[in-house]
Amino acid sequence: MVLRAALLQMNVVWGDPAVNRRTAERMIRALKDTDIVFLPEMFTTGFMASDTSQAEPMEGPSVGWMRRIAAETGMALAGSLVIGDGTGRPSNRFLFAFPEGRLVWYDKRHLFSFSGEERFYAPGTERVVIEYKGFRILPMVCYDLRFPVWSRNRNDYDVAVYTASWPKTRIAAWDALLRARAIENQCYVLGINRVGSDPSTRYDGHSVGLDFLGDTLASLPEGEEGVVRVELDGARLAEYREHFRAWADADDFVLGR
């Protein structure tokens, strides 16, 4: 059982969903032998922490685009968007579009107070695990990475995915925390980050696929737009977790709200 994933390290154009959808589509349609494609956080707009003017409903063009591309290519498509219906604060929503048309989503739990995101967006309350091609996938968004309890593997997932707009100034923390999440949770970790810049900061990528030992499976040179291709081996993960059963010795607790 193997999952073939592509991580799109995009140069996201600030506030231009149509251009960013075209860029992503060009990169996606060049892929072959791929089961699933992951996009960065707020991949259609850039990280708009204090601007919700480009929020789209679930029936809007970007969600429709995701469903169409997944159906036409036969590849699942996942990434985060600003989603709202105009009746309250929108969500920073990680959407997972299946090729057959089904949608599953996770709303970012930990909003980035350093930039004021918590004043404009509604936090998620539900931890979600998505099953796809025999793999259990835990979706997370950017700042969630800093909170290990929320990512705690209760033997309920195989792959943790962190889609992000993580700035160059704190990229060392990104690298270290992704590796820590892989090791402590005995899981594959996929980190998808953007490149380029927005009005407030610069992004240098560091998108990466890590195995359950924290070893790098694939990455890209710093600052380069492109695709990270990784193959996740389910049998190898199961064998390792059965041989080294640290997960079985973890502390038992219930996560409150």
Name which residue leads in pLDDT, 250 or 212: 212
pLDDT tens profile 14-59: 999 999 999 999 999 999 999 999 999 999 999 999 999 999 999 9
Q: Is 187 an active-site residue?
A: no
Q: Residue 67 has which token pair?
A: 């469903």
pLDDT tens profile 115-126: 999 999 999 999
94 CB neighbour count, 10 Å cutoff: 29
Rg (CA), the chain: 17
Residue 46, C-beta contacts closer than 8 angstroms, at least 6 positions apart: 12, 13, 14, 15, 165, 194, 198
Given 108, 117, 168, 187, which residue is catalytic? 108
> Sorting pLDDT into bands at 50, 70 and 90, what band is 255?
low
pLDDT at 232 over 90: yes
In the block, tokens 């930990």 appear at: 110
Q: Residue 164 has which token pair?
A: 């992000």
Q: Is 142 an active-site residue?
A: yes
Please list, residue by residue across 2-11, b when 16 or more beta carbons sit within 10 angstroms of its beta carbon and e when fewer do: ebbbbbbbbb
Q: Is 108 an active-site residue?
A: yes
Name which residue leads in pLDDT, 256 or 6: 6
pLDDT tens profile 147-189: 999 999 999 999 999 999 999 999 999 999 999 999 999 999 9
Given 56, 117, 142, 187, which residue is catalytic? 142
Percentage above 90 pLDDT, the chain: 94
Query: Residue 252: its pLDDT value, please?
Result: 84
pLDDT at 253 over 90: no
